Structure 1
Amino acid sequence: MLGLMQEWPLLCHKLIDNAERQHGRREIVSRSIEGPIVRSTYAEIHNRALKVAGRLERDGFGFGDRIATLAWNTARHIEAWYGIMGVGAIYHTLNPRLFPEQITWIMNNAGDKAIFVDLTFLPLLEKIAGAVKSLKQVIVLTDNAHMPETALPNVVAYEEWLGEADGNFAWKTFDENTAAGMCYTSGTTGDPKGVLYSHRSNVLHAMIAAMPDAMGMSSRDTILPVVPMFHANAWGLAQSAPMIGAKLVMPGCKMDGASLYELLDSEKVTFSAAVPTVWMMLLQHLEETGKKLPYLQKVVIGGSSCPRALTTKFQNNYDVQVVHAWGMTEMSPLGTLCTLKPDYAGLMGEARLGVQQKQGFTPFGIEMKVTDDAGNELPWDGKTFGRLKVRGPAVARAYYGGIGSQQFDEDGWFDTGDVAHIDPGGYMQIT
């Protein structure tokens, strides 16, 4: 017997719909690529995302088309994301830190038909666009007043392109397992591999990320996603924040300590996430200037192992909680987060730091194990190392094009390629 509950497809546009209805006046603040701080609201972002979707459809783009973005974290990038997904197309975030030849290969492999590009990356696109056979249109994320001369064909300034959009577009409806986003991982051997996220996986990951013992965010937070949207979906923050109605502060292209401090202080940011090198630059700026962090409550640190000194300085000098996290592009990306369970909460000093240096435990929705080379599961004893494997509703079951199939087994486990152990409390540590 089946239950008698309603079908309600988990589609990504419902995240921004909820933000508009329940938190419409909540701010999204961006440091624009042109320079000034730009203020918007979820209601305005929602309406502009609808226009993006309508204009894409008018230009002939739609269901299943791959639409690339080569952009920093800004409100315009969020509008483009939700507009792309809302018309049934697939956003494809490109990592500008790769070699131009790699980006060209990735765009051709994905078959990108259009691209939204920041002014910063226009020279890079000019070098490679001619080699991308499928590319039909270039939308530069600026207005005509700041639009530079370019030899690129079929190019248009975003604001003027959006100004011609139909304001009466209605989101498309489709199966929740429809592809929503695409990101290529360069953390494996050989050519980059494409990970294809679904609407369902993105929405579930947004829910997982916001849980109290994960990132633990709420509508009362002001969130600064320093981690770029091209780095594994900004760790889900561009989806979790609209879902919960948190204020968003988007840093644009300025990641230096002084620029980040300015936003942290002026916008009263309570939560942020970035890789260790970014936080080191911020701490250096604080030490040189003697400034404090009166509003910041929590930082999530991932992308590489968090140095013990970083945790110590944040917690002892600035009273900021540090959450060490681990994940992969293939996991949407969150895998584990190191918050302290009740049995560990009373630990102090080196004992507490010893736990915090671990990558953490899995939130609900992610299963994890370590095995030997023959696939036999190993004990959670905190000392037996093995191959780290994961599975869950926001974990890839295959790579785009079917390559790399050896990393996925018949029971749905994904072999991360990492070697780790898990202690009796469920805390995982990578060697």
Structure 2
Amino acid sequence: MRLERFRGDAMDGLMQPRPLTIAHILERAERLFAHKEIVTAGAGRSTYAEVAGNTRRLATALDSLGVLPGARVATFASNSRRHLELYLGVPATKRVLHSINIRLPAEHLEYIVNHAEDDVVFVDRGLLPRIWPSVDRLPVVRHWVVLPDGTDTPIPADPRISGYDELISAAEPFAGSFEDTFALADENLAAGLCYTSGTTGPPKGVLYSHRSTILHCLGTLAAGLIGLCESDVVLPIVPMFHANAWGLPYGAMMAGAALVLPGASAEPGHLLRLMAAERVTVAGAVPTVWTSLAPELRAHDLSATRFLLGGGSAVPPALSETYLAAIGVPITHSWGMTEVSPVGVIGGTRTQHRDATAADQVAVRAAQGQPLPLVNVRIADVETGEELPRDGRAVGELQVAGPWVAGAYFRVDSAESFTEDGWLRTGDLATIDAQGYLRLVDRMKDLIKSGGEWISSVELEAAIASHPDVVEVAVIARPDPRWMERPVACVALREGSATTADELRRHITPMVAKWWLPDEFVFMATLPKTGTGKLSKIALRESARTA
């Protein structure tokens, strides 16, 4: 056989150009892991085989409703088996899954449904009262499908409304291969749509592709990081409307892990009983949820747990160490955002830290961590845009690039959010050390400038949170005629605590510079939260402004 000489021209490989699609996740689970269980709290057990069967019926049900390829299909629902079927069936049939934050104010809810031009909305029965009052201001929606959730909330008499189970049972199952329908399709077809929280303007849509979702999914399977595997039992406490539950449902199905879905309740006892009864090995939640569970940890058998993921905001080191002491597993930091699908960085110690002192290991666990494979991060000077050194000292704006990082926003001008060479500007200030460990300093808008010097609200919050009586803390800036801004700490204490502002000030004095000490401690029963469970500094600033 005669071989062509290589003349220096680029050469294509000879591998099959099969697209990376969510259809593969569905059919892989159906073929290999049909027996594996999915538990929905309060709604019993099912298997991947049953989920796949319902998903096949969902495919033809969407056809019967006239939902075209590329149409946006919205979900307004909690974490449940039926929501999982939508996670699979909508993108596997070339429609676009739009998961909506169920805690949005009506103004934002109406904006994003109309902006996305959602064709159909699937809504939990118990959540109907939150969205139905807006129906006359949502003219784009043709169909409403009610998901049973164990409640008996009245359903309005309206011809646009149908029941999910009735719709599914009346549909013939799709009998072919979802993967084969994608065989000649573009893997860059849109698969999912999530909107940002809209804290600095209208919410912005992030439009995920099949390719980006599959690659992010594989990132969650990477050994030594989250490392989802077939023997895991995965509990996404993080809502399925919050950036696709951080990819945990897709990752669990790809790996063949069992899934536990908590339903609508985030009550600490409910979640801990679920973790113990189902022998959960991996769970993910925002720090406020982990904080709420901490007092009852030792009352439950969590010995099966191997990995706890924290994200959405910085995990206070004291909180992570509380879990390590109680159950032998720390909360592992992650960093990401809706625009990053959302996981870009995972924390934790590595082999080089095995001989480090206990204090040094705590410091490593307090960092956000190293980027996942295929994700690149850098920091840049806020004024010049020049890349800064990875020395652990230089502070700059965090920028990120990778195959599951957004390159633009949906239907809005995106130029200011991206650099000329295409990197996403995150708005976070950070350092990166020589080993690639990312440490967040603050959000650019949350830094406090006092007397010409910067104060990191993140570091100050971590110091205050290390006091054993502190449950929640948020540090905000208050205008000051002399210093321009001064820090104010808003604190929620454990029930029955008599801790005073002076005690907290004495506690943190050895940890921070003297001029970082808050001018005031404001004690609150609980701190306001955003729709995704993060502490809302916007609400706190507004309260301080009007006080």
User: Normalising to structure 2: TM-score of the pair?
Assistant: 0.76
- Per the alignment, residue 200 of structure 1 pairs with 211
**What corresponds to 1:116 in structure 2?**
122
1:139-150 matches, cutoff 5 A: 139-142=145-148, 146=152, 148-150=154-156
Rounded Cα–Cα distance in structure 1 between residues aligned with 2:318 and 2:231: 29
The one-letter code of the counterpart of 2:22 is: C
Unaligned runs of 5+ in 1: none
Deviation at 1:363, TM superposition (A): 1.2
Partner secondary structure for residue 235 of structure 2: strand
Q: CA deviation at 1:153?
A: 4.3
Residue 415 of structure 1: aligned partner:
425
Correspondence for 1:384: 394
Query: How much has 1:285 moved relative to structure 2?
Result: 2.5
Matched, 1:44 2:50: yes
**SS of corresponding position for 1:400:** coil
The one-letter amino acid of 1:42's match is Y
- Mapped to 1, the partners of 2:433 and 2:198 lie a distance apart of 26
**Matched residue, 1:14:** 24
Aligned to 2:221: 210
Residue of structure 2 in register with 1:70 after alignment: 76
Distance, in Å, in 1 between the alignment partners of 2:285 and 2:141 is 32
Q: Deviations over 1:353-375 (max 9, x none)?
A: 11111111101110000011222
Q: Give, as a single letter, the amino acid of the residue that structure 1 aligns with 2:107.
A: E
Contact 2:297 2:327 in 1 (8 A): no
Q: Secondary structure at the match of 1:402?
A: coil
Deviates more, 1:160-169 or 1:226-235: 160-169
Aligned to 2:238: 227
Structure 2 match to 1:269: 280
Could you tell me how far 1:78 is from its partner in structure 2? 0.6
2:324 equivalent in structure 1? 315
Query: 2: CA distance between counterparts of 1:30 and 1:349?
Result: 39
Secondary structure in 2 matching 1:401: coil
1:294 aligned partner: 303
Answering whether residue 181 of structure 2 is matched by residue 175 of structure 1, we say no
TM-fit CA distance, 1:339: 2.5
- Measured after TM superposition, the shift of residue 93 of structure 1 is 0.7
What residue is the counterpart of 1:426 in the other structure?
Answer: 436
Shift of 1:403: 2.1
| Pair 1:28-2:34 in alignment | no
Find the aligned partners of 1:121 and 1:353 in 2 and give their Cα distance.
42
Contact kept? 2:125, 2:151, Cα under 8 Å: no
Q: Which amino acid aligns with 1:284?
A: P
With 274-283 and 219-228 compared, the bigger mean Cα shift is at 274-283
For 1:178-193, what aligned pairs fall within 5 Å after superposition? Answer: 178-186=189-197, 188-193=199-204
Output the amino acid matched with 1:361. Q
Q: C-alpha separation between the residues in 1 aligned to 2:420 and 2:151?
A: 55
> Could you say what secondary structure the match of 1:113 adopts?
strand
Q: Please, what is the CA RMSD of the aligned residues? A: 1.6
Within 2, Cα distance between the matches of 1:304 and 1:46?
Answer: 34
Residues 166 and 340 of structure 1: CA distance in aligned 2, closer, same or farther (over 3 Å) = same
Whole-Å Cα distance in 2 between the matches of residues 321 and 312 of structure 1?
Answer: 6
SS in structure 2 of the partner of residue 417 of structure 1: strand
Distance 1:256 1:143 in 2: 17
Q: Counterpart of 1:324?
A: 333
The SS at the match of 2:162 is strand
CA distance in 2, matches of 1:152, 1:312: 53
SS at the partner of 1:139?
strand
Structure 1 stretch 102-111 or stretch 134-143: which is displaced more? 134-143
- Picking from 80, 90, 93, the partner of 1:87 is 93
Equivalent residues of 1:213, 1:363 under 8 A apart: no
Larger mean CA deviation between 309-318 and 200-209 belongs to 309-318
Distance of aligned partners of 1:143 and 1:300 in 2 relative to their CA distance in 1, 3 Å threshold? closer
CA contact (8 A) 1:107 1:132 kept: yes
Q: Secondary structure at the match of 2:351?
A: coil
* Aligned-partner residue type, residue 414 of structure 1: L
* One-letter amino acid matched to 2:190: A
Q: Structure 1 residue 292: deviation in Å? A: 3.7
| Residue equivalent to 2:539 | none
CA deviation profile, 1:384-415 (whole Å, cap 9, x unmatched): 00011000000000000132321112322010
Aligned-pair identity in percent equals 39
Q: Does 1:103 align with 2:112?
A: no
Cα distance in 2 for partners of 1:144, 1:250 equals: 15
- 1:401 paired to 2:415: no
Q: 1:319 to 1:271 in 2, by over 3 A?
A: same
TM-aligned CA deviation for residue 235 of structure 1 = 0.3
For 1:271 and 1:144, the matched residues in 2 are separated by 26
**Map of 1:339 onto structure 2:** 348
Rounded to whole Å, the distance in 1 between the matches of 2:153 and 2:59 is 22
For structure 2, the residue ranges without an aligned partner over 5 or more in a row are 1-10, 442-547
Tell me, yes or no, if the aligned pair for 1:144 and 1:157 is still in contact at 8 Å: no
Distance verdict in 2 for CA 1:232–1:343, change over 3 Å:
same
Q: For 1:345 and 1:46, locate their aligned partners in 2 and report how far apart those are by CA, in whole Å.
A: 44
Residue 125 of structure 1 is matched in structure 2 by 131
Q: Considering Cα pairs closer than 8 Å and 6+ residues apart, tell me whether 1 or 2 has the greater RCO.
A: 1
Separation (CA, whole Å) in 2 of partners of 1:145 and 1:337 = 38
Secondary structure of residue in 1 paired with 2:300: coil
Bigger drift between 82-91 and 391-400 goes to: 82-91
Displacement of 1:349: 1.9
**CA apart distance, 1:146:** 4.8
Q: Deviations over 1:87-128 (max 9, x none)?
A: 211010100111111100110000001011012210011111
